[in-house]
Structure 1
Amino acid sequence: MSSISKPHDALFKRSLQHKQIMVDWLVHHLPKETLALIDTATLVMTPNEYVPKWPDTLYSDIVYSCKIGGKPGYIYLAAEHQSSDDEMMAFRILCYVVELMNNHLKQGHKKLPIVLPLVLYHGEKSPYPYSTKIWDCFENPELAKAIALKPFQLIDLTVMSDEEINQHGLASVMEILFKHYRQRQSPFSWLGALLSKGKMTTIYTQVSPDYFKDVLRYFIEICGKANETGTDELDKALALWVQSVPEQAQEDIMTFAQQLEKRGEERGKQQGMQQGMQQGMQQGMQQGMQQGRQERNVEIAKQLLASNVDRSVIKMSTGLSDEELDMLLH
C-alpha cells in the first residue's frame, strides 16, 4: 500500500463529506440552541468552484450549504493539523468567513448568509493554547472590544444644517461643497456658509495654496455644472470669493476664471464646428436625395415619351414641366 499524501487532510475530508458523519459531528459539537436553527435535511456539500481559494494550505476546508433559521447559510469546517499553533487563528477564520460571504454575493444573492465556522484541532499542545475570540487578536483586547468591529460611523450631510456643518472647522469647506453641489434651486445661496469665518484665508495661508485651488476648481467645475448656473451667476459667486481671501489668492481666482473662460470659448468653437459639420452633412444628404429623385424622374419621363404617353400624364407622374420635357426631346 502506497503512503497517503497529507493523511490528516484526506481523513478529515473523507469523513465529513459523508452526511451521516457530518450530522453526528454537528449534534455533538454545536450548542443545542444553534443546532435547532439548522435544517440538517438541507445539508449539501458545496462544490469546489463555489468555495473560496484560501491563500494558504494550513487548513483542510469543507463547506456545507444549508438552511439556517430558514435562510441560506453555510457551515465552514476547518482542521488544524500543525504542531505549531496559530495565535491569529480567530482572525484568519474571520477572513475566511468574510470571503465565503463575498463569494455568496458573487453568485447573485442580495443578502449575506450566516456562516458557522468549526475548527478541529489535534496539535501537540493541549489544550489549544490560544483564544478563539477575535478581540484577543488585537494589541489591546479591551479597547478593541469597546470600539472595534462596531457599526460604521456615518456622517450624513443630507440631514445636517449649514450652521451645524459650519462648526466643523476647516473640514466644513469640503462638507458644504459636497452637501450642496447638486442643488438646482437658488444656486449658491449656501455660499455664505462656505466663505464665512475666514476659512478660505486660513486654507490658503496655513493649509496650502494648492488645496485652495482644488477647492476652487471643485466649486467652479462641479458645483457650477451641477447647478446649471449661468455665467453671470458664476461671476457673482466668484466676486464673493475674491472679497473673502487675501490679495495673492485673489490673483489665483482671476487666473483660474480666465483659464475657465478660455476653455469655455474653445468648447464653444468645437461645438460650433460639430454643429456646422452636422448641418453640412444633413444638407448634403438632402441635396443628394433631391438630385437622385430628379435624375430618376428624368429617366422615367424619357421612357414614357418614347412610348408616346400623353404629356399631361408624364407631367403628373414625374413633376417635370413642359420646358423640361421639351429639352428631353432635343
Structure 2
Amino acid sequence: MVSHPHHRHDHSYKLLFSHPEMVRDLLTGFVKEAWVEQLDFSTLEKVNGSYITDELRDREDDIIWRVRWGDNWLYIYLLLEFQSSEDKHMAVRIMSYLGLLYQDLIRQNAFAPSGKLPPVLPVVLYNGEQRWTAAQNVADLVEEVPGGLERYRPNLEYLLLDEGAIVNDPEWSDRVRNVAAALFRLEHNRDEQDMLEVLGSLVEWLKASEQTPLRRAFVVWIRRVLLPNRAPDMELPEFNDLHELHEVHHMLAERIKQWPERWEEKGRQEGLQEGRQEGRQEGQIEAQRTTARNLLALGVLSTEQIAESTGLSIEVVAQLQTGSKD
C-alpha cells in the first residue's frame, strides 16, 4: 500500500466517514439522482472489513457501506482519496477495486434476489485545491480501434465529488442541514468568520447525545487536520484537552477576537525596536503601518475599523491595502 503524504489526514477522515450520518448526507446532498430517494437509510451499515480479502483490506483508505434499495442491498464503495493532486488513471484503479469487491461478494454469496450481483456506487472524494480534470470513465483512457474492437473497451464510471467545486458552486445552498457539506465548507473556508459560522451550525446540528461519536470525530479532525493546515500560526497547546465541539467553537471565537490585539502588540514591538534606532516618531508610524498590514491580511476588519484602531488615516490604510494586493 502506498502511503499518502496526508496519512494523518486520511485517518481522521476515515473516522468521519465511518458514521452513517456522513454517508447519508453525502448521498442525499450530492448525488442528485432519483434512486437515492428510494434508499432506506435506516439500513445503512458499514461492511465489516474482517471478511474482506487481503487484497482489499490493504486499501485501508476505503470504506464500504451497504444500504437497502427496495429488496436489494446496494453497495457504496467510498474511495476516500485525499491527494492534493489528481490521479490521471483513477478510473483504472476504480475498475480494479470494483473487481476485487465483486470477487468478495461472490465468495460470500452476497447476490441480489434475482441471483445477480448487487450494484455498487464507486465514489471518489477529492479535496485538492485545483479542480479535478481526470477522466471519470475508464473508456476515455483506452484507445479506440474501429472495426469491431471498440466493443471490448471497458466502460466504468465513478462518481467524483470535488469538494472545492461543490463549495464554490452558486447553485449549491449551504443553508441546508448537511454534515458532509459542513465538512467541505470547513476545509475550503473563505476566512475565519466563515469557519466559525460552519462550526456554529455543527454544534447546533450535533447536540443530541446519540451524535456524540460523530461530534468527537469532528473535534479530532479539527485538531489534527483543519487547524494545523488552515491556521498554523495559532498557538493551541490546550487544544488537546478539548473533546467537545462547542468548546472548540467557543475557544476559536475567543482566539479570533484576540487576533487584532495580538497583531497590534506585535506591530508595536517591531516598531519600537526600529524606533530606538531611527528616532521614535518614524518608528511609531512604522509600527502603526505594520499593525494595519497585519490586520488587513487577516481580512476580518473593515478599512475604517483598522484606521480607528491604529490611528492612521483611512487613506493611508486604503493605500496599504492596494499595496498588499500587488
Q: TM-score, normalised by structure 2?
A: 0.40
Q: TM-score, normalised by structure 1?
A: 0.39
Greater relative contact order: 1 or 2 (C-alpha under 8 angstroms, separation 6 or more)? 2
